């Protein structure tokens, strides 16, 4: 990195040298001297008001200072004049990711890469859940499900999008036993279809993932689709339930039909207990007919489910109708525990990427966060970030997040998984017909 003092001396000699001002600003950013960097970028703009690099530099300074909206305005201002500026698209991608707008972040990132292949960044691509757009179509493929407004009028707000996840099992830390089960149930039948048919086994079926919230069930489902290069559909309850009689069943059927038309496909139902509740608890509820429809779709009695893979996730498996556990439906029921130490270290590394972290010891932090879920680890980073931001605003400079900040945040948080295990332990001990919850007992070290 250029010596900051030497650059200051050079600027005193040549105060209107724009490349020198930009170089000095970049050196300041490298030392987290954000305010000094911004002043240098502004001096460059005073000389050349259309300098895109200086405009983007100010946007980066705003980003580091926590002013995401201001950074977005600056970056969009550059693109209004220079729509082919790949660096601006890449910055917009990072800004969208910082605010949780994952789809928009992916669109901006692939736009940047399309303009300049040198913009590719493996660390960013690992975090993206949306693949690059297909050359023949810029819009993801969609199916529209019906509302109660009429038998042939679609509800434009309720759509399901087909994705092609770029994740694979290598992006998911730990969970080796679960991965092996999914390979046998899903991956090997697809890659060795003739061999499995010889044994009377077809590709398809269902896998139910259960465990405490925030432990990577959704990530595992996406990675499974990525492993087999299959289409992926994440189904939420809002895409199915409808206030008008019969429409919920039609919506569910439409989603299964889309998956069948675009097989191999993975249908992922998050919080499936909301759609597959125990019918004994529903009595006269219209939800009973929706459950019956769900069972019929899974059985393939409506249409063939060859190469359609159904993965569901739940935090409350004890609320699911027992009929869903019958062979041919969710006949692989897998416990997803909190991430182990290796997985926690990998998650910590990912969470640290987009923040000014210094002196990080991922292994030491992983040892201090036993039983933390992925969501708990994110909360730890959020808490440490808030405290450093408060100091940064008081001192008027970027305050890096250090190990002491993260360790203090970890001490202040309690793993949310423990409350789940308190409930699960009771079911595992007193309502464990057929050994359904043996994995929970094993994880807790309880012998039956």
pLDDT digits 0-9 by tens, 57-80: 998 898 888 888 888 888 888 888
Helix (H, G, I), strand (E, B) or coil at 210: strand
- Is the pLDDT confidence value at 2 over 60? no
pLDDT of residue 156: 34
Per-residue pLDDT reduced to its tens digit, 89-134: 888 888 888 777 888 888 888 888 888 877 787 777 777 766 666 5
Which CA distances in Å does 411 have to 289, 374, 376? 48, 16, 12
Cβ neighbours around 60 below 10 Å, total? 23
Helix axes 52-64, 18-30, angle to 10 degrees: 20
φ and ψ at residue 40, rounded to 5 degrees: -70, -40
Which CA distances in Å does 270 have to 10, 204, 313, 315? 59, 18, 5, 9
Confidence label for 368 from pLDDT (cuts 50, 70 and 90): very high
Mean per-residue pLDDT, 273-292? 69
Mean per-residue pLDDT, 422-438? 80
List residues bridging with 89 in a β-sheet. none
pLDDT of residue 369: 93
pLDDT of residue 139: 42
Confidence label for 408 from pLDDT (cuts 50, 70 and 90): very high
Question: Within a 13 Å sphere around the CA of 154, how many CA atoms are in the beta-carbon half?
Answer: 11
């Amino acid at each position: 990195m250029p010596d900051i003092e030497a650059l200051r001396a050079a600027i005193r000699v040549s105060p209107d040298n724009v490349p020198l001002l930009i170089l000095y600003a970049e050196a300041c950013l490298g030392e987290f001297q954000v305010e000094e960097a911004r002043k240098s970028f502004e001096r460059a703009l005073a000389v050349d008001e259309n300098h895109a690099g200086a405009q983007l530099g100010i946007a980066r300074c705003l980003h580091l200072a926590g002013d995401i909206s201001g950074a977005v305005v600056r970056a969009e201002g550059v693109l209004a004049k220079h729509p082919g500026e790949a660096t601006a698209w890449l910055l917009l991608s990072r800004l969208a990711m910082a605010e949780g707008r994952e789809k928009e972040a992916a669109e901006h990132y692939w736009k940047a890469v399309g303009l300049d292949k040198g913009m590719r960044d493996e660390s960013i691509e690992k975090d993206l859940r949306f693949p690059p757009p297909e050359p023949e179509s810029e819009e993801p493929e969609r199916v529209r499900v019906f509302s109660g407004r009429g038998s042939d009028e679609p509800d434009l707000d309720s759509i399901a999008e087909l994705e092609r996840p770029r994740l694979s099992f290598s992006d998911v830390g730990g969970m080796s036993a679960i991965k092996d089960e999914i390979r046998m149930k899903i991956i090997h039948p697809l890659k060795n279809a003739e061999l499995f048919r010889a044994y009377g086994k077809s590709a398809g079926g269902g896998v139910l993932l259960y465990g405490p919230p925030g432990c990577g069930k959704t990530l595992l489902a996406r990675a499974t689709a990525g492993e087999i290069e299959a289409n992926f559909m994440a189904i939420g309850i809002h895409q199915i339930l409808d206030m008008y009689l019969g429409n919920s069943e039609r919506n569910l059927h439409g989603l299964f039909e889309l998956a069948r038309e675009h097989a191999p496909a993975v249908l992922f139902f998050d919080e499936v207990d909301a759609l597959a509740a125990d019918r004994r608890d529903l009595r006269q509820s219209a939800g009973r007919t929706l459950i019956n429809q769900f069972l019929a779709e899974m059985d393939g009695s409506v249409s063939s489910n060859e190469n359609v893979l159904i993965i569901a996730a739940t935090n409350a498996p004890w609320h699911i109708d027992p009929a869903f556990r019958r062979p041919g439906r969710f006949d692989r029921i897998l416990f997803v525990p909190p991430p182990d130490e290796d997985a926690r270290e990998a998650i910590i590394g990912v969470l640290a990427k987009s923040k000014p972290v210094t002196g990080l010891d991922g292994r030491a932090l992983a040892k201090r966060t036993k039983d933390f879920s992925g969501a708990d680890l994110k909360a730890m980073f959020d808490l440490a970030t808030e405290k450093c931001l408060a100091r940064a605003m008081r001192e008027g400079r970027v305050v890096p997040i250090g190990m002491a900040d993260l360790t203090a945040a970890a001490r202040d948080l309690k793993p949310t998984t423990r409350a789940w295990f308190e409930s699960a332990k009771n079911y595992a001990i007193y309502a464990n017909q057929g050994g359904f919850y043996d994995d929970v007992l094993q994880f807790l070290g309880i012998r039956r």
